[in-house]
Copies of this chain bind each other. A is one copy, B any other.
Amino acid sequence: MDTAPPLSPTARSTVRRAPRRARTDRRDLYAVLDAGLIGHLAVVLGDAPVVLPTGYGRDGDTLYLHGSTRAATLRAAAAGAPVCFTVTHLDGVVYARSAFHHSVNYRCAVVHGTARLLADPDERRHGLAVLTEHLAPGSWSATRRPDRRELAATAVLALDLTEASVKVRTGPPGDDERDLPAAGDPDPVWAGVLPVRTVLGAPEPCPLLPPGTPVPGRVRDRAPVGVVSPRA
């Protein structure tokens, strides 16, 4: 991975707002994508954008997306319409001493491109395996694989991670000098960060499961979500 090309090779994947927050190391892109469970896929339908949450999975520099062959957004993407796919982790609410400098800490990856609709059965199956393992590690081996009818109902798309940007905000508020407390101020305005984290709860067994069925390790010991941070 040390030889991977850096990010931001194009105008639209170059971070212009607050460029100090941009990350150009491809490993930061991988880290943000790998730590998420859902992203937001945008396409243009007619002359208007539509953005919907969607699952995904990554293998190397390929991002896999899937959905019903009847979903309008998937159909448009499959037909070669440009897409934008964004994964965001909210890491904290930043309380500042002015309304203006209130902010959030976050990690965000934005991928631009045109997706390929996969036709080759092996490639489709591989994409679905990647997607399933991303959402639910261990499930591809542990559960029934898609049959012919299910495969026919599912569009699997591949989006190259060629044109992408990563933006990260960390740390305390960036207050103006004029708003900082004077020495000895008896009642300074509180400022700081309220962390936001995504956590997994206790597994809730399906009511149709025989009572006492043990929770498998793939569910019970699942790694936390959202915590794989790009290097600070």
A positions within 8 Å CB-CB of B: 12, 16-17, 37-38, 40-45, 47-53, 55, 68, 70-72, 82-86, 88, 90, 92-93, 95-100, 102, 104, 106, 108, 110, 112, 128-129, 132, 135-136, 139-140, 142-147, 150, 154, 172-173, 175, 179-181, 185, 188-210, 213-216, 219, 222, 225
Contact yes or no, A110 B51, CB < 8 A = yes
Chain B residue with Cβ nearest A142: B189
A172:B207 contact, CB within 8 angstroms: yes
Can you report 10 residue pairs joining A to B where beta carbons are below 8 Å apart? Answer: A48-B84, A49-B84, A50-B84, A50-B112, A99-B128, A99-B132, A144-B179, A172-B208, A190-B214, A191-B205
Question: A135 CA to B53 CA in the complex, in Å?
Answer: 22
Q: Is the CB of A53 within 8 A of B86?
A: yes
12 more A-B residue pairs beyond the given contacts A102-B132, A181-B210, with a C-beta to C-beta distance below 8 A: A44-B44, A44-B49, A48-B112, A98-B150, A100-B144, A102-B135, A175-B206, A181-B208, A194-B219, A195-B200, A195-B204, A196-B200
Copy tally for this chain in the complex stands at 2
- A contact face: mostly helix, strand, loop, or mixed: mixed
Min CB gap A101→B, angstroms: 8
